[in-house]
Amino acid sequence: MVTTTLCSPQDETPLSYDRLDGEWAQWFRTAQRFEHKVPAQDRGDIRHSIILELARARARDGNKPFSEAMMCRIASCVVALYWRKQYKLTNGLECGSCSQKQRAKCRSADLYRQCPKAIKVEYLSKPITDENGNVTELGETIADDKAIDVGAWLDARTFLLSFPQRLVLIAHKIDDGQTLTHGERTYLYKWRKREQINLN
């Protein structure tokens, strides 16, 4: 594993790049020229990735000339691989795994939106229309694990045999769309809390 400079425990700046010398200092300067091409939060990582890749390339090539153009090409490749990985994470697309013929077809006909590898992103505020023509937001259709299913409460086998009559009347009022009184809301709230504790 390639490491940077090791310093003594009493050193005030143990992670300073000022202590690098020779090729390490040159690789650091090359990395600095390319790190601005990625978001600020990832610049430290890409700097180290570039330095590490330059060290690996140097170890592979031995004593062959290692020009500045070659170092810039390696650093540019590291940045390109970073963006390819980011694009795959956000869009699900990795065109590099497709054939050249398929890539040319997608490029010429702009078929990227139809790619089966693409992640389909939906907004929670997207309007959804149900079979009755009612419009609601997509986020409202997501099930809540802690929510109590009022429809299940009305099932005589699970609810009517074990709960108070007042709770049954409240459930019927909710099902009919009637407004609950303050006392009924308080009573329902207490029972919901009790059921949620039991389910956990």
Q: For residue 65, how many other CB atoms are within 10 A of its CB? A: 6
Domain count, the chain: 2
Q: Beta partners for 137?
A: 127
Q: What is the pTM of this model?
A: 0.47
Are residues 90 and 157 both part of a single domain? no
In a domain, 150, yes or no: yes
* Most confident listed range (40-54, 123-137, 152-166): 40-54
* pLDDT number for residue 140: 76
Are residues 82 and 150 both part of a single domain? no
In a domain, 159, yes or no: yes
Spatial separation of the C-alpha atoms in residues 23 and 56, rounded to whole Å: 12
* pLDDT number for residue 76: 92
Task: Give the pLDDT confidence of 37-73 residue by residue, as tens digits.
Answer: 999 999 889 999 999 999 898 888 877 778 888 889 9
Q: Are 55 and 20 in contact (CB under 8 A)?
A: no
Spatial separation of the C-alpha atoms in residues 128 and 120, rounded to whole Å: 16
Task: Give the pLDDT confidence of 6-32 residue by residue, as tens digits.
Answer: 444 444 555 677 788 888 888 888 899
In a domain, 68, yes or no: yes
In a domain, 72, yes or no: yes
In a domain, 118, yes or no: no
In a domain, 76, yes or no: yes
* pLDDT number for residue 117: 67
Q: Containing domain of residue 80, as a range?
A: 17-97
In the chain, % of residues over pLDDT 90: 13
In a domain, 103, yes or no: no
Q: Which of 36, 69, 97 is the last residue of a domain?
A: 97
